[in-house]
Amino acid sequence: MAHFLLVHGSNHGAWCWRDVVPELEARGHTATALDLPSHGADKTPIAEVTLDAYADKILAALDGPTILVGHSAGGYAITQAAERDPTNVAGLVFLTAYVPQPGKSLVDMLGEAPEQPMKGAFDMAPDKKSFRFKPEFLTRALYGDCPEGTYDYAMAHIGWQPLSTQTVPATLTGASDTVPRRYIFCTEDRAIPLAHQKQMAAGFSADETFDLATGHSPFFSAPGPLADILDRIANAT
């Protein structure tokens, strides 16, 4: 049995993992989904949010060996946490996620993508400190293969994303290199295309990667198959 901490990506919160937690529990594991600062039930003001604050929130949630699962931008958050203190980090799982590179912010890595499907996908707040996805991008690229009702559910919860967490590089000291890591490719992703996922996971060996035939939001479109892969990862960690 393993314990998972599920970490959301941009604009989302713990709410997006609602279907994955029971699937993992049905396979004998325990799982917790958390709200990063300024997301979901966490009311930290956007102006106070940093990538380090994300890491602090994750580390505070660990009280024993835990596999961190980061979706999309959550790849930066879980890596920063493992770099700060890998003691209780039993593994890092990147779910169609950004894998930080030295000296590069998430925005830098987005700009290096072979394709740019997220160009024009955001509305910026008037103060330029946060952004959110445009509704048409959500329906087309994020939830296009998800069950009916997903968009309405998400729109009732989705929030603003602090830009500050995506314009600074992760602090890479090598501490996270001691932690087993896996990458789950979402092969039909229309937000982070497979070519970009493979580019970011170039350093992963063949036995460290898994394929999931979904779009960008498998926690809604395929929670069971996603839990199956996480179960395999837990058994191998």
118: pLDDT confidence band, cut at 50, 70 and 90?
A: confident
- Give percent of the chain with pLDDT exceeding 90: 89
Q: Is the pLDDT of residue 231 over 90?
A: yes
36: pLDDT confidence band, cut at 50, 70 and 90?
A: very high
Domain count, the chain: 1
Q: Tell me the helices (H) and strands (E) count for the chain, helix number first.
A: 9, 9
140: pLDDT confidence band, cut at 50, 70 and 90?
A: confident
SS3 assignment for 199-215: HHCCCCCHHHEEEECCC
119 vs 111, 122, 140, 191, CA distance in Å?
A: 10, 8, 13, 10
104 vs 99, 112, 120, 153, 154, CA distance in Å?
A: 10, 10, 21, 33, 30
Q: Which of 52-61, 114-123, 154-163, 193-202 has the lowest mean pLDDT?
A: 114-123
Residue 179 sits in a domain whose CATH number is 3.40.50.1820
Q: Is the pLDDT of residue 237 over 90?
A: no
Amino acid identity at 206:
A
- Give percent of the chain with pLDDT exceeding 70: 100
Q: Give every strand in the sheet of 181-186, ordered side by side.
A: 30-34, 3-7, 66-71, 89-95, 181-186, 209-212
Model pLDDT, residue 138: 87
The average confidence (pLDDT) of the chain is 95
Model pTM?
Answer: 0.96
Q: Is the pLDDT of residue 200 over 90?
A: yes
Mean pLDDT of 178-193: 96
Q: Is the pLDDT of residue 121 over 90?
A: no
Classify each residue of 52-68 as buried b or exposed e, where b means 16 or more C-beta atoms within 10 Å of its C-beta. bbbbbbbbebbeeebbb
Q: Is the pLDDT of residue 120 over 90?
A: no
**E strand spans, the chain:** 3-7, 30-34, 66-71, 89-95, 122-124, 130-133, 161-162, 181-186, 209-212
**Domain hosting residue 97, numbered range:** 3-236
Chain CA centroid to CA 171, Å: 18
Model pLDDT, residue 61: 98
